[in-house]
Structure 1
């Protein structure tokens, strides 16, 4: 029986500094993508002062991310970070295809209440946009882990909500 599990991150946990705040055992294993899902934003996060990312089942779409290997002792901290106990996200299993074609079964989190209709990220209304800090975490994590240039270009098309106030997160994340 394995003492670890694989987790597919596509949001702020792309960034090593972010995932290690609550999950110190996380080790980056690979990058990869999930098929037939799209990246979207809907639910407002008090912590991030804007919407947080989710994945929504969508034919012919892909979401890139990072596969982290974590010790099972971090399963509860990851669930807690994702708000599973508050029905913000629920955990599910997905097959992640890595750059070399390997398929890895990973835990992933999807919001419990997802948008029904597809709106291009560039066209999201202000109430559906992530905050500048949250979006920056996603972009920095994508760049840090060398996600494909086309995907990073796509992430850069996502507008933020312009929030300029304080955030309810660790100050270490606010430092460069």
Structure 2
């Protein structure tokens, strides 16, 4: 089976964290179109803080999700189709991330060439720290909305959070009533 590539004016983006949830992702990239759930082999999730990070300066009041190579693992996420001009909408929260091209596979066995983002593995001063419960709520709801396997959603529910009880302002934007 051949690898699906986006048309010249578009690109496929694989997300695995808060951008799984449509209402969160559309805050920055309103034209993004959901394509499919997909699996990335050879990577695992991790949660890291930026250099100089504090609970008060973090948008999510906790560390952010990233991926790192691990040949024994996999990460589920979602494929979105974006206009190339929309890439700037990804940058407000991903400025310390790098953007490799990766190949992911849908549950039906189709493969897609996608961009993804991950915190640079050699980012000096980055530390593993737990995410906030608010960030995990968005990730888990996004995983359900993106139709990721229930076993993977159950795995996300086991990730220990930092116990923060003060929701960040972005939560009000995501869950507008």
Question: Could you state the TM-score of these two structures normalised by the residue count of structure 1?
Answer: 0.85
Q: Distance in 1 between matches of 2:175 and 2:24?
A: 10
* Structure with more of its chain in helix, by fraction: 1
Deviates more, 1:164-173 or 1:72-81: 164-173
Q: Distance in 2 between matches of 1:175 and 1:136?
A: 15
Deviations 1:5-37 (A, max 9, x none): 100010000000011001011000011110000
Q: Distance in 2 between matches of 1:136 and 1:19?
A: 14
Q: 1:50 aligns with which of 39, 49, 62?
A: 62
* Local SS of the residue matching 2:159: coil
Q: Distance in 2 between matches of 1:175 and 1:113?
A: 35
Q: Which has the higher contact order (CA 8 A, sep 6+)?
A: 2
Q: Which residue of 2 aligns with 1:75?
A: 87
Which residues of structure 2 form unaligned runs of 5+?
1-6
Whether the aligned pair in 2 keeps the contact of 1:8 and 1:66 (CA below 8 Å) is yes
The answer to whether 1:10 aligns with 2:16 is yes
* Local SS of the residue matching 1:169: helix
* Local SS of the residue matching 1:146: coil
Deviations 1:56-80 (A, max 9, x none): 1001200000000011111111133
Q: Distance in 2 between matches of 1:155 and 1:167?
A: 20
Which residues of structure 1 form unaligned runs of 5+?
116-124
Q: Which residue of 2 aligns with 1:136?
A: 137
Give the aligned CA root-mean-square deviation in angstroms.
2.0
The answer to whether 1:160 aligns with 2:172 is no
Whether the aligned pair in 1 keeps the contact of 2:13 and 2:116 (CA below 8 Å) is yes
* Local SS of the residue matching 2:140: helix
